[in-house]
């Protein structure tokens, strides 16, 4: 089997991580009370909603600019938790979407929340809105809502880009409590500057496990930790091995995936075992030997038909 692109190592590592995660999920399903460290931003959620309830002003939720994927999904799951609390207190909510597919899920999800709380009648489908799928139109629209409705609490969780600063600072100007978290590390510093509580990096992914200690989520969280530990170990081991190897000399050099003898010289990083492992090379000559019969209809001149 030829793994032309990744080499066997890539496949192996990926599968290892997958096993860690799934393995722990199924392990945790057996149900043990598992530890998760404190995440400040998430304890603030109820406080923020409480504040909004006192002031009788709406709670704003923005799942970011991203299309429908795990990130916006995760954001919506956290918002479901927020919406549940808000529903109990009868606090009005505003959920502003920048993607129609996300909007669809949000409608479904939030309606479910209200229904499951037996408050279906309280649910106003206009509280979940599609604003615009164009970044700055979205930014303009949301800050318009923040300013006009004077939202008392704001949750910005998901994939945020430049607009993060517009939201955070506008919400701050109306004195809203803000909980923010973005998988976009470039935006995190701005949230840190303007928001009260910030989820950094994959604290965001840990959130739902932290909020509702479901075995599946907690298990997966443990699996993620194992994976991180594995990476840390690899880095330690690799760095040490590279250091030791590079103190020595080599009489081989890898050219096109083949080790060729050379005059003895000090090791370079490119000669180390780990580099060979991580950067598999294919031998173009060997590859060129693989020949296939041509399709008679093929016209070398033009681009091929069926430009998928």
> Hey, what's the torsion of the CAs at 249, 255, 260, 263, to 10 degrees?
-40
Instruction: Indicate the residue among 91 and 187 with the shorter CB distance to another protein.
Output: 187
Smallest distance from another protein to CB 38, Å: 10
Contact between 221 and another protein by CB under 8 A: the answer reads yes
Task: Please report where in the chains the tokens 């692109």 appear, as a residue.
Answer: 5
Q: Which of 47, 117, 169, 253 binds another protein (CB under 8 A)?
A: 169
Which of the ranges 40-48, 50-58, 84-92, 239-247 carries the binding residues for another protein, by CB under 8 A?
Answer: 239-247
- At residue 61, what are phi and psi to the nearest 5 degrees? -130, 130
Which of the ranges 51-59, 74-82, 86-94, 252-260 carries the binding residues for another protein, by CB under 8 A?
Answer: 74-82
Burial 3-39 (b: 16+ CB within 10 A, else e): eeeebeeeeebeeebeebbeebbeebeeeeeeeeeeb
Q: Is-contact 109 80, C-beta < 8 A?
A: yes
Which of the ranges 56-64, 85-93, 95-103, 251-259 carries the binding residues for another protein, by CB under 8 A?
Answer: 95-103
Q: How many CB atoms lie within 10 A of CB 217?
A: 21
Contact between 255 and another protein by CB under 8 A: the answer reads no
Smallest distance from another protein to CB 100, Å: 3
Q: Is-contact 161 184, C-beta < 8 A?
A: yes
- At residue 158, what are phi and psi to the nearest 5 degrees? 135, -150
Contact between 92 and another protein by CB under 8 A: the answer reads no
Q: Which of 40, 101, 258, 259 binds another protein (CB under 8 A)?
A: 101
Q: Which of 31, 43, 259, 268 binds another protein (CB under 8 A)?
A: 268
Counting residues that bind another protein (by CB under 8 A) gives 144
Q: Is-contact 167 155, C-beta < 8 A?
A: no
> Would you mind telling me the total number of residues written for the chain in this entry?
308
Going by C-alpha positions, the residue among 39, 151, 148 that lies closest to residue 95 is 151
Smallest distance from another protein to CB 256, Å: 13
Contact between 232 and another protein by CB under 8 A: the answer reads yes
Smallest distance from another protein to CB 291, Å: 8
Smallest distance from another protein to CB 17, Å: 6
Q: Which of 23, 47, 51, 109 binds another protein (CB under 8 A)?
A: 109
Per-residue string for binding with another protein, 138-157, x by CB under 8 A? xxxx-xx--xx---------
Q: At what angle do helices 203-211 and 70-89 cross, to 10 degrees?
A: 40
Per-residue string for binding with another protein, 112-131, x by CB under 8 A? x------------xx-xxxx
């Amino acid at each position: 089997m030829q793994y032309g692109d990744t080499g066997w190592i890539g496949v192996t590592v990926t599968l290892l991580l997958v096993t860690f995660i799934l393995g722990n999920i199924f392990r945790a399903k057996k149900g043990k009370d598992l530890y998760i460290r404190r995440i400040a931003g998430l304890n603030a959620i109820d406080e923020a909603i409480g504040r909004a309830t006192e002031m009788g002003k709406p709670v704003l939720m923005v799942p970011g600019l991203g299309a429908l994927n795990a990130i916006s999904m995760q954001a919506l799951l956290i918002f479901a938790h927020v919406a549940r609390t808000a529903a109990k207190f009868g606090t009005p909510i505003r959920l502003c979407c920048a993607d129609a597919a996300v909007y669809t899920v949000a409608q479904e999800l939030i309606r479910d929340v209200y229904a499951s709380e037996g408050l279906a009648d309280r649910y106003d489908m206009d509280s979940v809105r599609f604003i615009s799928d164009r970044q700055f139109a979205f930014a303009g629209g949301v800050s318009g809502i923040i300013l006009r409705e004077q939202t008392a609490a704001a949750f910005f969780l998901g994939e945020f880009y430049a607009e993060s600063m517009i939201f955070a600072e506008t919400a701050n100007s109306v004195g809203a409590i803000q909980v923010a978290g973005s998988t976009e590390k470039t935006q995190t510093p701005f949230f840190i500057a303007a928001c009260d509580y910030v989820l950094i990096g994959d604290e965001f992914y840990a959130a739902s496990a932290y909020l509702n200690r479901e075995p599946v989520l907690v298990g997966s969280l443990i699996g993620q930790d194992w994976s991180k530990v594995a990476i840390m170990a690899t880095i330690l081991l690799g760095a040490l091995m590279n250091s030791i190897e590079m103190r020595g000399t080599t009489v081989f050099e890898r050219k096109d995936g083949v080790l060729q003898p050379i005059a003895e010289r000090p090791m370079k990083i490119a000669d180390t075992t780990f580099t060979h492992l991580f950067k598999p090379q294919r031998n173009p000559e060997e590859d060129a030997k693989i020949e296939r019969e041509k399709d008679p209809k093929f016209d070398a001149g033009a681009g091929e038909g069926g430009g998928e």
